[in-house]
Copies of this chain bind each other. A is one copy, B any other.
Amino acid sequence: MISKKHNFGAGPCILPSTVMEQAAQAVLDWNSNGLSILEVSHRSVEFESVITKTQLLVRELLNVPDSYSVLFLQGGASTQFSMVPLNFLKKGRKACYLDTGYFAKKAIKEARLFGDVEIVASSRDKAYCYIPDNYELSHGTAYLHLTSNNTIEGTEMFAFPKVAVPVVCDMSSDIFSREINVRDFDLIYAGAQKNMGPAGLTLVIAKNSFLDSVNCELPSMSDYRIYRDNNSMFNTPPVFSIYVSMLNLIWLKEMGGVKEIEKLNISKARLLYGEIDRNSLFDGLANLAHRSRMNVTFRAKDERTGAAFFELASERGMVGIRGYRTVGGFRVSLYNALPLESVEALVVLMREFEQMVACANTVSHLESVR
Given that A35-B319, A36-B2, A320-B41 are contacting pairs, would A221 and B75 also be in contact in the complex, using a CB cutoff of 8 Å?
yes
Q: Which B-chain residue is minimally distant from A17 (CB atoms)?
A: B36
Annotate A63-97 by CB proximity to B: 1 below 8 A, 0 otherwise: 00000000000111111011000100000000000
On chain B, the residues within 8 Å of A191 by CB distance are 235-236
Give the interface segment out of A19-27, A157-165, A307-315: A19-27
Is there an interface contact between B220 and A78, defined as CB atoms closer than 8 Å? yes
Q: Is residue A154 contacting chain B, with contact meaning CB distance below 8 A?
A: no
Is there an interface contact between B113 and A217, defined as CB atoms closer than 8 Å? yes
A78–B226 Cα distance when bound, in Å, is: 12
Q: Which B-chain residue is minimally distant from A235 (CB atoms)?
A: B78
**Could you say which of B9, B21, B222 contacts A82, with CB atoms under 8 Å apart?**
B222
**Could you say which of B39, B74, B239 contacts A75, with CB atoms under 8 Å apart?**
B74
Tell me whether chain A's interface is mostly helix, strand or loop, or mixed.
loop
Q: Whole-angstrom distance from the CB of A65 to the nearest CB of chain B?
A: 28
Q: Is residue A244 contacting chain B, with contact meaning CB distance below 8 A?
A: yes
Annotate A109-126 by CB proximity to B: 1 below 8 A, 0 otherwise: 010010000000000000
Is there an interface contact between A241 and B238, defined as CB atoms closer than 8 Å? yes
Annotate A215-251 by CB proximity to B: 1 below 8 A, 0 otherwise: 0011111100000000000111111110010000000
Q: Whole-angstrom distance from the CB of A335 to the nearest CB of chain B?
A: 10
Give the interface segment out of A193-201, A276-284, A360-368: A193-201
